[in-house]
Amino acid sequence: MAINDDKRVIIFDTTLRDGEQALQSSLSPKQKLQIAMILDQLGVDVIEAGFPISSPGDMEAVRLIGQNLKNATVCGLSRAVDKDIDACYEAMKGLDHYRIHTFIATSDIHVQDKLKKSFDDVVEMAVRAVTRARKYTDDVEFSCEDAGRTPIDHLCRTVEAAIKAGATTVNIPDTVGYTLPYEFGNIIKSLFDRVPNIDKAVISVHCHNDLGMATANSLTALQNGARQIEVAVNGLGERAGNCSLEEVAMTIKTRSEYMGGLYTGIVSTNIARASQVVAGVCNEPVPPHKAIVGSNAFAHSSGIHQDGVLKNRSTYEIITPESVGFKENNLHMTARSGRHMIKSCLASLGYDESTYDLDDVYARFLKLADRKGQVFDYDLEALLFFSPDKEEE
């Protein structure tokens, strides 16, 4: 995939691969296709649709998705072994364009205790894997698994070798979500300072959220030269999840100036729908307080906040719900709500202030809210017609 604009951030979505790995039950090829079509409309650039060697279902899903995408590039994952790379080719052969993503771990703990190999063996396997994948496609991504804990000299050596072998994207995963933003930014900066052929590939990052740093680490990587971010809708993914698509997309859009004018191809007004479809198909409800897509993300409860929002939404909303595809913000009527909020709700229900006594309705509203927690439109309307005595019954 050729994007020749230094400000454009490539969005690589792994909801269907890393995200799916974390689900209680796997998705069928048709369910994966349904999500892939939504991701395509959302404007993601690359869709990692699965791990073809892992199961016939994943092989079929990658094939099916590749045949149906309109804009995004399909990608299959493979370990740095021949049979995995060949399975990716099997799943995607015949398509005009596709990506093979191959990876091997580079940190000492993974190389020694998991792979039981020497670091030299790992570099050799990486080169062999990239070379083999390049025979099938000119779009090859190589990942240094656990890059966040890899000694920087080893990381530079692997990245340089992978690019020399033909990798067009090199991914630097913080596989276990261990690094801090400043630290991760420095890793990316060191690669740009030290790897001689670094400008021949797109540098990507893939951050996990074990310490809640995935979005911050990804954005810091962009500020240090990375131009692809790997994400999942609703932050789905192994353990605490992957970097959230909606968080990076909306941060880059909202704070573009601070981010040096970077931008993505994400159609932000499709975000809410993508979030809801992924949550529904994956049976993974979105936590209410999840940034951007949680049901509380645009709700205002305190009277001071509600009063501010009613006067000017920007007082407490840095982005509008409409900009991510929600219909409207949500002003919860609670015991913290003020008179202004009650008057405004009654007006939207068609009741002019001249037809009721605001002090009286407000006093009764507070009693009800203390008892009930959240008060709904129909409760408020009922208050207009019930006497306080009757209400106490």
- Contacts with Zn ion, residue ranges (CB under 5 A): 18
- In the complex, minimum distance from the CB of residue 318 to ligand KIV, in angstroms, rounded to a whole number: 30
- In the complex, minimum distance from the CB of residue 349 to ligand KIV, in angstroms, rounded to a whole number: 50
Tell me which of ligand KIV, Zn ion, none is bound by residue 143, counting a contact when its beta carbon lies within the kind-specific cut-off of 5 to 8 angstroms: ligand KIV
- In the complex, minimum distance from the CB of residue 332 to ligand KIV, in angstroms, rounded to a whole number: 38
Ligand-binding site membership of 146 (annotated): no
Contact 102, 130 (CB under 8 A): yes
Query: Of 160 and 174, which CB lies nearer to ligand KIV in the complex structure?
Result: 174
Ligand-binding site membership of 101 (annotated): no
By CB under 6 A, name the binding residues for ligand KIV. 18, 103, 143, 145, 171, 173, 175, 206, 208
**Which position has the token pair 């951050």?**
207
3 state DSSP class of 186: helix
**294-313: buried (b, 16+ CB within 10 Å) or exposed (e) per residue?**
beebbbbbebebbbbbbeee
CB atoms within 10 A of CB 216: 20
> Cα(36)–Cα(64) distance, rounded to whole angstroms?
10
- In the complex, minimum distance from the CB of residue 240 to ligand KIV, in angstroms, rounded to a whole number: 12
Rg of the Cα trace of the chain? 25
> Cα(379)–Cα(393) distance, rounded to whole angstroms?
15
Query: Of 158 and 242, which CB lies nearer to Zn ion in the complex structure?
Result: 242
> Cα(144)–Cα(304) distance, rounded to whole angstroms?
49
Tell me which of Zn ion, ligand KIV, none is bound by residue 166, counting a contact when its beta carbon lies within the kind-specific cut-off of 5 to 8 angstroms: none
Going through 160-273 in order, the beta strands assigned E by DSSP cover 169-174, 202-207, 228-231
Query: Of 18 and 141, which CB lies nearer to Zn ion in the complex structure?
Result: 18
- In the complex, minimum distance from the CB of residue 30 to Zn ion, in angstroms, rounded to a whole number: 25
Ligand-binding site membership of 242 (annotated): yes
Query: Of 181 and 294, which CB lies nearer to ligand KIV in the complex structure?
Result: 181
Annotated binding site: 18, 206, 208, 242
Annotated binding site for Mn(2+): 18, 206, 208, 242
